[in-house]
A and B are shown apart, each in its own frame.
Chain A
Amino acid sequence: MKSRVIQEESDPTTSAPADAEPSIVEAPRSANGGPATVVAAQDITRQYGAGETAVHALRGVSVDVAVGGLTAVMGPSGSGKSTLMHILAGLDRPTAGDVRIADIQIGTLGDTQLTKLRREHIGFIFQFFNLLPMLTARENIVLPLSIAGQKPDTAWVEELTTAVGLGDRLSHRPSQLSGGQQQRVAIARALVSKPTVMFADEPTGNLDSKTSGEILTLLRDSVSGYGQTTVMVTHDAHAAAIADRVLFLADGLIVKDIGHSTAREILDALEEVTAA
């Protein structure tokens, strides 16, 4: 799979490349033009239940996600990584603490405002793809736009579908596509509205290793090519190896925060945090 994005490699740690499509809502930048924070969590805790049976999924997590990079969140089962992502994405509310997405304090938002925020700033990629079975691949891709009542930009959709490698499968329904193809549709769907931040929840969790590799390449390319800020939850070290930054959670706390690493280094780090 050779996509156009690959030839447009640029340094993912800097701001979005000049030739990237402008976002619908410009990602916030700091005064000096350096990388700005698109998602910020301050001291969040999340508790399920109460009293003796209470489960503390998060025990005080603070994290900033900078614009343009790919952040992987890792950790053993039950470490709270999924909860963290749900809260950062505004799907779940913290028991305590503040979350800001694109400089908007989401703790106080009502359902309609939160929905509007999702429309404008957030894209999702799911472990089980979550495509609508009755819609074709193309219809699934442009769904976020039609929900928002916007007309899809044909050239942009064209570019996206080529980039994710779906050119000739656009009129197929999800049931006629392989798992990898379905996830490609899901990635295109997440990118179509040029969100401020894209969340991926175990994007390779339901795929074989070869397909996983392809999907990870595609994800990496979209971060690099479009400067798409992405947060990915995964328990797969190979997946985390494409990230610019890897956060490790254990027992509801961030225990390690490292930059781009190899799969081997990540496995060692995971071993270390799990043992601790």
Chain B
Amino acid sequence: MIGVALKGLLGRKLRATLTGFAIVLGVAMISGAFVLTDTLGKSFDGIFNESYKATDAVISSKAVVGSDTGSEAPAFGDDVLSQVQALPGVRVAQGSIEDKTRLVDSDGDAIGNAGEGIAFGIPPSADQSLNPLKLVTGQWPQGDGQIAVDKSTADKEHFRVGQTVGAFGEGPIRDYRISGIVRFGSVGSIGKTTITVFDLATAQTLFDKVGKLDTIRVGANPGVSDAELVKQITPLLSQTTQVKSATAQAAADSSETQDGLNIIKYALLGFAGIALFVGSFVIANTLAITVAQRMRELATLRTLGATRRQILGSVILESVVVGLLGSVIGLFLGVGIAAGLTALLKATGVDLPDHSLVLSMRTIVVSLGVGTLIALLASLRPAVRATRVEPIAAVREGAVMPASRFARYAVPTSAVVGTASIALFSYGVFASDVDIKTRMVTLVAGVLLMFVGVAMIATRIVRPLAFVLGAPGARFGGSAGKLARENAVRNPSRTASTAAAVMIGLALITFVAVIGQGLKSSFSDAVNTLFVADYSVSAGANGDPLTSKAADAVATAPGVSAVSQMRSGEAKVGGKTIFVTGVDASLTKVVDVEWKSGSNAVPAQLGTTGAFVVERYADDNSLKVGSPLAIETPTGQVIRVHVTGIVDPPKGGSPFGEVSISNAAFDASFANHDNEFTFVNVDGGPSEANTAVLEKSLAGFPAAVVETRDEFRTSRTSDITQTLQILYALLGLSVIVSLFGVINTLVLSVFERTRELGMLRAIGMTRRQVRRMIRHESIVTALIGAALGIGVGMFLAVLTTTALSQYGVVFSVPYGTLVVFVGIAILAGMLAAILPARRASRLNVLEALQYE
């Protein structure tokens, strides 16, 4: 009996292949995500471990509050170094500065992106055995006119020892002579970063860290364990300084990278899940059709003594085998994709230690397991239906599939499923005080259930939908177009489940498009309301900080009437982490602040004890003008201020954190003195001439970008646009999977209608008309999927935007984009029809007529 099932599969290779693809793509994404992130993770682990190869313990700064990424830790006094060197267990200790610096290429442009340039300050004469950087050629930099650069950047930019290049960190750009080329452990650089090495004293001056250090690497005397070393060092350290064994430090360093990789991994796995969910629809539908077509065969097996259980098993087995084969192909395809992406990363200049691809047991087990399980689950319903075929169908002419026992409950069941899904989804978006995990689970469950519910009810609405959506084809496609529309509704449940698979991808794409549009328009509204400055000066769209020295430089430009600097940092108030903004007196000239309490005079009068808060925060914490606030900053200091004003910023976004204090108070208690925003007013307002004047004043700051309000708005929404495009691409995969479903259904329908097609050809239908008929049917199916998908997607978006309205997200329909989606659905339908249409048009008329 197993043999029968497997032989049956071999006899239907095309169908099995098309069905298999429904699994292949999803599984490839799973294995690709695992292999890529595992490989990159291993590579980065290698880099970090290597960086502490000779080191036993590391002393570094520690931010008292906030996340590692959100707050900058203050440097510590260099007296620690001599104390550490004096410890009995210490053989050698090297202090260094670690900060940010970017190099400038021969055209005067900054190399790489903001945040991708790191700086080391290293004492040139010291014992370099602990230094993660190794000198390739030349000397360690000495004095304030020299730097060393990493080998990767040197190779890329053709820098040589002795050459003069520009570099800038906090201050304006300066020229340095390259004294040497270094590498990081065994690699030229870390990923895409550029490394600039200064003499320690130079770095301390340059980064405002005179008499301070960021890191001390410690090597132990022989026989002293890491734990013992850490124990000896700990008593010497302050609240904002910490010591870790080298192993622990390497793990901590890599954890940030691993967190980033994990986000990528889970995102990709999520999209793989969607693709597989769509795949399960495709498999279930294909099996349902074949079970119906093989009814006589199944009945014959029953007359020959096959039990229901054997029939059930044979259908499930067939699906499981397809699933397993698809998973195996998908697994290797994923490995191939990961290999390709790794190579692509290297080709685009990301420096990674050569590491072979990591194909872990977990990747294999999960990929094969999930793919096979999906196939198994998808086969259950068709398999159960197959057991309902009575043996007498073997001898009865024109026997039809017995109606599913549940068919008559379809409407109430889908109503229940639909209600449950809306309830779950609404709970997910509207409920307050639920943790993120519960929220995600209810949201995902709600959405999946909604798809199932709509798929169930779709059978009933296929007919009217096909009538409307098939109208243009029926009107202009001649008899072929009319027949196509009729064919599409001949078996409504078949068309419905085929379209349902298309629906899922399109619903999610529509959902992101509508939400994205909502975010964009609410952000644009906020900018339009708030931004009354002539210009913004920033480090670009990513919100990277720009040194306040750039703002100082702009202030000296002719015609500049106001410059307002805004800084931002994480801090803790009442145990909760919030954002604190630093502002200055010019704020109200560049930002239109709506005061609930206080007036435009407030920012100028903040001093070191005043603060204004946003209304939502004031309401949540019952703050009034005069309320005291104790703000604990990352440097460990506590600022005591009282509320002098309450503002009501637009919901779509504002430059204000929960609490705003003066820049003077900010600088005294935060390590970060860079600006998040710098706004400028110029006599005569925005003009090409004024832009040129500002840009000229910023010549020493290659990272600075001068933008007018419109440019600011466009560049800040560009990352939403970019994110949307990535999401479209990832969700597009599930649409592709659903296309295999359309192809499959059409191929099977053509097969089923062989005799009819022969008859149509015999009475004069041309091959071209046959192809058109199949193509129109395909387009109608795809359009039904698109109509359902856009409907469901909009519905979900309405619920979500309603829930997010307190954050200013509005429901805004991107009509143009939706029209494009419909166009893509039509195109997809045409593509899916190519193979089945060709098969149909090539049928031999005589053979087709005799076919039974």
Chain A residues with CB under 8 Å of chain B are: 82, 86, 91-92, 111-112, 115-116, 118-120, 122, 124, 126-128, 130, 132-135, 139, 143-144, 146-149, 189, 193, 201
Specify the main secondary structure of chain B where it touches its partner.
Answer: helix
Stretch at the interface among B5-13, B89-97, B506-514: B5-13
Taking a contact as CB atoms closer than 8 A, the residue among B7, B304, B852 that contacts A124 in the complex is B304
Whether A144 pairs with B304 at a CB distance below 8 angstroms is yes
Whether A139 pairs with B305 at a CB distance below 8 angstroms is no
- CB proximity to A under 8 Å, residues B300-329: 300-308, 310
Which of the listed residues A122, A148, A193 has the most CB atoms from chain B within 10 Å of its own CB? A148
CA distance in complex: A147, B394 (Å): 17
Please name 11 pairs of A and B residues whose Cβ atoms are closer than 8 Å in the assembled complex, sorted by A.
A86-B392, A91-B303, A91-B395, A111-B308, A115-B305, A118-B391, A119-B305, A132-B297, A133-B11, A134-B7, A147-B301
With contact pairs A135-B4, A147-B1, A147-B310 given, residues A189 and B395 touching in the complex (Cβ less than 8 Å): no
9 other A-B residue contacts (CB within 8 Å) besides A111-B308, A127-B395, A147-B305:
A91-B390, A91-B392, A112-B307, A116-B305, A119-B304, A132-B7, A133-B297, A146-B4, A193-B305
In the complex, what residues of A have CB within 8 A of residue B307's CB? 111-112, 115-116
Whether A146 pairs with B394 at a CB distance below 8 angstroms is no
Chain B proximity of A271: nearest CB distance (Å)? 27
Q: B235: CB under 8 A from chain A?
A: no
Whether B310 pairs with A130 at a CB distance below 8 angstroms is no
Whether B305 pairs with A132 at a CB distance below 8 angstroms is no
- CB proximity to A under 8 Å, residues B385-428: 390-392, 394-395
- CB proximity to A under 8 Å, residues B710-736: none
CA distance in complex: A124, B306 (Å): 13
Chain A proximity of B14: nearest CB distance (Å)? 14
Chain B residues with CB under 8 Å of chain A are: 1, 3-4, 7-8, 10-12, 296-297, 300-308, 310, 390-392, 394-395, 852
Whether A124 pairs with B303 at a CB distance below 8 angstroms is yes
CA distance in complex: A122, B390 (Å): 16
With contact pairs A119-B305, A147-B305, A147-B306 given, residues A86 and B4 touching in the complex (Cβ less than 8 Å): no
Chain B proximity of A207: nearest CB distance (Å)? 15
In the complex, what residues of A have CB within 8 A of residue B306's CB? 115, 147
In the complex, what residues of A have CB within 8 A of residue B392's CB? 86, 91-92
Whether B304 pairs with A139 at a CB distance below 8 angstroms is no
Chain A proximity of B504: nearest CB distance (Å)? 33
CA distance in complex: A189, B305 (Å): 12
CA distance in complex: A86, B299 (Å): 13
Chain B proximity of A188: nearest CB distance (Å)? 13
Whether A118 pairs with B304 at a CB distance below 8 angstroms is yes
CA distance in complex: A74, B698 (Å): 106
In the complex, what residues of A have CB within 8 A of residue B394's CB? 91, 124, 126, 130
CA distance in complex: A112, B311 (Å): 12
Whether A130 pairs with B1 at a CB distance below 8 angstroms is no
In the complex, what residues of B have CB within 8 A of residue A148's CB? 305
Whether B1 pairs with A146 at a CB distance below 8 angstroms is yes
With contact pairs A111-B308, A115-B305, A147-B304 given, residues A126 and B395 touching in the complex (Cβ less than 8 Å): yes
Chain A residue with minimal CB distance to B308? Answer: A111
In the complex, what residues of A have CB within 8 A of residue B302's CB? 115, 118
Whether A139 pairs with B7 at a CB distance below 8 angstroms is yes
CA distance in complex: A128, B299 (Å): 13
CA distance in complex: A189, B303 (Å): 12
Chain A residue with minimal CB distance to B392? Answer: A91
Taking a contact as CB atoms closer than 8 A, the residue among B1, B8, B301, B390 that contacts A134 in the complex is B8
With contact pairs A118-B391, A146-B1, A147-B310 given, residues A135 and B304 touching in the complex (Cβ less than 8 Å): no
Chain A residue with minimal CB distance to B302? Answer: A115
CA distance in complex: A133, B301 (Å): 12
Taking a contact as CB atoms closer than 8 A, the residue among A86, A118, A146, A147 that contacts B395 in the complex is A86
Which of the listed residues A82, A127, A146, A201 has the most CB atoms from chain B within 10 Å of its own CB? A146
CA distance in complex: A263, B768 (Å): 54
In the complex, what residues of A have CB within 8 A of residue B303's CB? 91, 118, 122, 124, 130
CA distance in complex: A193, B306 (Å): 13
Closest 6 CB pairs of A and B: A134-B11, A119-B305, A130-B300, A91-B392, A134-B7, A144-B304
Which of the listed residues B11, B12, B307 has the most CB atoms from chain A within 10 Å of its own CB? B307
In the complex, what residues of A have CB within 8 A of residue B297's CB? 130, 132-133
Chain A residue with minimal CB distance to B391? Answer: A91
Whether A144 pairs with B305 at a CB distance below 8 angstroms is yes
Whether A135 pairs with B7 at a CB distance below 8 angstroms is yes
Chain B residue with minimal CB distance to A93? Answer: B392
With contact pairs A86-B392, A146-B3, A146-B4 given, residues A126 and B300 touching in the complex (Cβ less than 8 Å): yes
Chain B proximity of A195: nearest CB distance (Å)? 10
Chain A residue with minimal CB distance to B310? Answer: A147
CA distance in complex: A112, B1 (Å): 16
Which of the listed residues A119, A130, A133, A144 has the most CB atoms from chain B within 10 Å of its own CB? A130
With contact pairs A133-B11, A134-B7, A135-B4 given, residues A143 and B395 touching in the complex (Cβ less than 8 Å): no
In the complex, what residues of A have CB within 8 A of residue B395's CB? 82, 86, 91, 126-127, 201
Whether A139 pairs with B391 at a CB distance below 8 angstroms is no
CA distance in complex: A139, B308 (Å): 21
In the complex, what residues of A have CB within 8 A of residue B11's CB? 133-134
Chain B residue with minimal CB distance to A92? Answer: B392
Whether B304 pairs with A143 at a CB distance below 8 angstroms is yes
In the complex, what residues of A have CB within 8 A of residue B3's CB? 139, 146
In the complex, what residues of B have CB within 8 A of residue A147's CB? 1, 4, 301, 304-306, 310
CA distance in complex: A146, B4 (Å): 9
In the complex, what residues of B have CB within 8 A of residue A82's CB? 395
CA distance in complex: A189, B301 (Å): 12
In the complex, what residues of B have CB within 8 A of residue A139's CB? 3, 7
Chain B proximity of A39: nearest CB distance (Å)? 16
CA distance in complex: A139, B11 (Å): 14
CA distance in complex: A134, B9 (Å): 9
In the complex, what residues of A have CB within 8 A of residue B7's CB? 132, 134-135, 139
Whether A132 pairs with B308 at a CB distance below 8 angstroms is no
CA distance in complex: A92, B390 (Å): 9
In the complex, what residues of B have CB within 8 A of residue A86's CB? 392, 395
Chain B residue with minimal CB distance to A114? Answer: B391
In the complex, what residues of A have CB within 8 A of residue B300's CB? 126, 130, 132
In the complex, what residues of A have CB within 8 A of residue B305's CB? 115-116, 118-120, 144, 147-148, 193
Chain A proximity of B776: nearest CB distance (Å)? 31
Chain B residue with minimal CB distance to A90? Answer: B391
Chain A proximity of B9: nearest CB distance (Å)? 8
CA distance in complex: A190, B296 (Å): 17
Whether B308 pairs with A189 at a CB distance below 8 angstroms is no
In the complex, what residues of A have CB within 8 A of residue B852's CB? 128
Chain B residue with minimal CB distance to A132? Answer: B297
Chain A residue with minimal CB distance to B394? Answer: A130
CA distance in complex: A196, B297 (Å): 23
CA distance in complex: A198, B11 (Å): 29
Chain B proximity of A62: nearest CB distance (Å)? 22
In the complex, what residues of B have CB within 8 A of residue A92's CB? 392
In the complex, what residues of B have CB within 8 A of residue A118's CB? 302-305, 391
Whether A115 pairs with B308 at a CB distance below 8 angstroms is yes
CA distance in complex: A135, B296 (Å): 15
CA distance in complex: A112, B852 (Å): 31
CA distance in complex: A92, B394 (Å): 12
CA distance in complex: A146, B5 (Å): 12
Whether A132 pairs with B4 at a CB distance below 8 angstroms is yes
Chain B proximity of A84: nearest CB distance (Å)? 13
In the complex, what residues of A have CB within 8 A of residue B296's CB? 130
Chain A proximity of B278: nearest CB distance (Å)? 29
Chain B residue with minimal CB distance to A119? Answer: B305
Chain B proximity of A99: nearest CB distance (Å)? 14
In the complex, what residues of B have CB within 8 A of residue A143's CB? 4, 301, 304
Whether A112 pairs with B308 at a CB distance below 8 angstroms is yes
In the complex, what residues of A have CB within 8 A of residue B301's CB? 132, 143, 147
In the complex, what residues of A have CB within 8 A of residue B390's CB? 91
Chain B proximity of A125: nearest CB distance (Å)? 10
CA distance in complex: A130, B308 (Å): 19
